[in-house]
Structure 1
Amino acid sequence: MKLSIVNYGAGNIKSIQFAFQRLGYDAILTDNPEEIITSDKVIFPGVGEASSAMVKLQQSGLDQLIPTLKQPVLGICLGMQLMCSHSEEGDTTGLGIFDVNVKRFSNKVKVPQMGWNTISNLKSDLFKGIKEKEYMYLVHSYYAEQCEASIATSDYELEYASALENDNFFGVQFHPEKSSKAGEQLLKNFLKL
């Protein structure tokens, strides 16, 4: 199986590569459109700030490529947020794969949310073998609002979409590569999609 991790300089790639290596797969890190198009599965990661990440995607043309992909695509953390319509972070127009806006948590709670939180209302093959209220690891100051595409929710100040699905596109706000056995199970499920 050919696995590609979209390389656009948005950090934390090694831990994702190691997570797939533990499952017996080598994921290539690439910004080459041909490599990405011919992959069986595509991972769209991201750690950092939305507007500067979007500029990097635009400079490489990946902002045009990603929404046209036909194979399963998994956005992680900032990757998921960039797949949404708009983010308050840097007033950023996203890729529009998920018809939902990304908002900032208020100052009434500690920002960023950092650490373990539960996921609920699981509604996808992505969560096969993962139980309700399972803990996943998160680090984020912005969240996707509840919407039709929501396939999991978490609660931090309010209930928000911690995972999204639209056709062959999936997004998770948490870091499966840092979420112990449940995160590993999610990556296995993604590879079977």
Structure 2
Amino acid sequence: MNEQYLDYSKKQKNAAKGFYLSIVISWIIIIAGLVWTIADFLNPAGKLDFFLSLNIFYQIVIVAGYLAGFFFLLVLFIGISKRGTIFLLKVFFSKIEVEDQFKNKFHIKMAAGGFLICMIAIFISIILAVVWDIIDGTEASTTSIFEYLNSISFGLLIITIGTALLVLILISLFIVYFLKNGYYLILRIFGGLNK
């Protein structure tokens, strides 16, 4: 596994580590929101007062339980970080050989790049249009995102933020993957048309 890791440049390794770290952070936020939501379900109001009314040993048990869960997740994510980073390196930075007939063809590169940029623009525009409708709340059945965030508990707010962060990371990973591999897919299509 170490030999596979050495085949990539330092810039590629740092990019994969950054994406992995951002995915881990978003998952930790989601799990923290889930814990808070469960606490809201069990005791909707007065959690701090209830916690402070317990004796010191129960307080230690609760804090130690949360910290044990956090450190377990940290150990888990650190334990699989090498595999996760190598997986991201393989997916996003794999070496794909371009056929010789397309290596110096500017018009094919321009057409493929233009097509990919248009597809990404369409994809991002659809997502932004839906988000804008939700934020604006112009449709009768859609409430504003600010009204939604105001009406939910703090735990659900944390889950929403973590999920939004994870979705943004996954969209950016999809765009990188689509730019890298879509170009070669289009070149293969051009190759099939030229034969």
TM-score range (shorter-chain normalised) is under 0.3
Say which structure is richer in helix. Answer: 2
Structure having the higher Rg: 2
Higher relative contact order (CA 8 A, sep 6+): 2
TM-score, scaled to structure 2: 0.25
